[in-house]
């Protein structure tokens, strides 16, 4: 998208509150599909209709098609659960039906209270996980606790995007292309940089980097029509964003932002800079984004192509319609009556929408047409 188009879009969304609708639930119903999960973070459907769900404290569980939650699967790697750390996202290998392989992201504990985001893979068997192994890790460590990312998305060529938070670092570290802080990386299934990455031959740049200047992407999805990576990320106080995440682009954090520090003081006086991308959409105040879905099902034809984003702080499921120019048409806030932090979102094989709530007694909610 051209920079002038971005600017037009941003001016259009400045009056966002007037556009927001609080849904009356007239055309859908919400049921509890599963419960008793402890802080679920990521989930994905298996070909047989079961759900694979991660829990923050390091457990991976299966949810049957009738909503029964399994015991923790054996064989998971150890994770660091301090602060925002833990077992995070999970995805299936593109050839899962033949190889049974899954990939998961997690906070990896290091010595002296340090940690890093890492990615592992394992074979899913009837007995649990087999041959679990780490395949990738952040190049640098940081004191445990903050901003790990970390969504996993396979692209159409079979490469894996890994979204990485800034680990609560500042400009010098995040904008440094020799760090993994505030980056998206793109790797193969063995953890090596994809051979067509934008910086693969650039001296002084880590070869697995896809994009830079991110704060903390906790929702990501491959666009079903274009095959491009989209993501949502946490701003500080204000400035949560939806971005079209393209190769070699810098998304500006913390040089530019629409947010401020949590105490209200400025982070920067700039919301735009040459060579830095503008968001497709941003929120002020923050909704605390997590989980992301671009809907393609037949159960809700009126929602096809809509973007769904979980809201942790404002406790709702956010729905956005964009036009062909990627301009905001409507924003709607669903599930506010549930009063739950929404962490993960998946479209089921039935075309219904499933969301995981971020609580010690976490639930999987199912959104179905009436």
Active site residues: 147
What would the DSSP string read from start to end of 25-42?
Answer: -TTEEEEEEEEEESSEEE
CA 114 – CA 137 distance, rounded (Å): 13
DSSP helix/strand/coil, 132: strand
Which residue, among 40, 36, 42, has the nearest Cα to 292 in the 3D structure? 42
Among 194, 174, 190, smallest CA distance to 182 is for 174
- Give CA–CA dist 152/160, Å, rounded: 7
* Partner residues linked to 19 by β-bridges: none
DSSP string covering 141-158: -EETTS-----EEE-TTS
Residues 155-171 as b/e (b if ≥16 CB within 10 A, e otherwise) read beeebbbbbbbbbbbee
The neighbouring-strand residues paired with 308 are 293, 319
CA atoms of 278 and 61, how far apart (whole Å): 38
Partners of 129 in beta bridges: 124
Question: Measured on CA atoms in the order 74, 138, 209, 319, is the torsion positive or negative?
Answer: positive
Measured in degrees and rounded to the nearest 5, phi and psi for residue 212 equal -140, 175
Collapsing DSSP states into helix, strand and coil, what is residue 13?
helix
């Amino acid at each position: 998208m051209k920079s002038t188009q971005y600017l037009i879009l941003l001016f259009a969304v400045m009056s966002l509150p007037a556009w927001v609708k609080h849904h009356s639930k007239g055309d859908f119903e919400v049921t509890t599909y599963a419960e008793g999960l402890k802080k679920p973070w990521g989930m994905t459907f298996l070909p047989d209709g079961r759900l694979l769900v991660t829990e923050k404290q390091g457990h991976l569980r299966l949810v049957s098609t009738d909503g029964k939650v399994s015991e923790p699967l054996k064989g998971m790697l150890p994770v660091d659960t301090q602060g925002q750390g833990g077992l995070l996202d999970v995805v299936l290998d593109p050839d899962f039906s033949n190889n049974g392989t899954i990939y998961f992201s997690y906070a990896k504990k290091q010595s002296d209270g340090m940690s890093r985001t890492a990615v592992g893979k394992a074979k899913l068997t009837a007995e649990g996980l087999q041959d679990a192994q780490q395949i990738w890790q952040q190049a640098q460590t940081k004191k445990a606790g903050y901003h790990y990312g970390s969504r996993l998305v396979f692209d159409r060529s079979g490469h894996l995007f890994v979204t990485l938070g800034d680990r609560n670092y500042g400009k010098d570290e995040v904008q440094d292309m020799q760090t993994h802080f505030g980056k998206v990386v793109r790797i193969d299934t063995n953890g090596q940089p994809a051979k067509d990455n934008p910086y693969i031959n650039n001296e002084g740049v880590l070869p697995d980097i896809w994009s830079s200047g991110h704060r903390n992407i906790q929702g990501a999805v491959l666009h079903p029509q274009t095959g491009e990576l989209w993501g949502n990320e946490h701003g500080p106080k204000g400035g949560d964003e939806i971005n079209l995440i393209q190769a070699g682009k810098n998304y500006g954090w913390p040089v530019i932002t629409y947010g401020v520090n949590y105490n209200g003081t400025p982070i920067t006086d700039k919301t735009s800079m040459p060579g830095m991308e503008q968001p497709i959409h941003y929120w002020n105040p923050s909704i605390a984004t997590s989980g992301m879905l671009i809907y393609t099902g037949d159960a809700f034809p009126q929602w096809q192509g809509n973007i769904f984003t979980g809201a942790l702080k404002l406790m709702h499921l956010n729905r956005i319609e964009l036009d062909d120019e990627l301009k905001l048409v409507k924003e709607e806030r669903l599930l506010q009556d549930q009063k739950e932090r929404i962490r993960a979102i998946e479209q089921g094989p039935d075309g219904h929408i499933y969301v995981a709530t971020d609580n010690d007694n976490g639930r999987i909610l199912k959104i179905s047409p009436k």
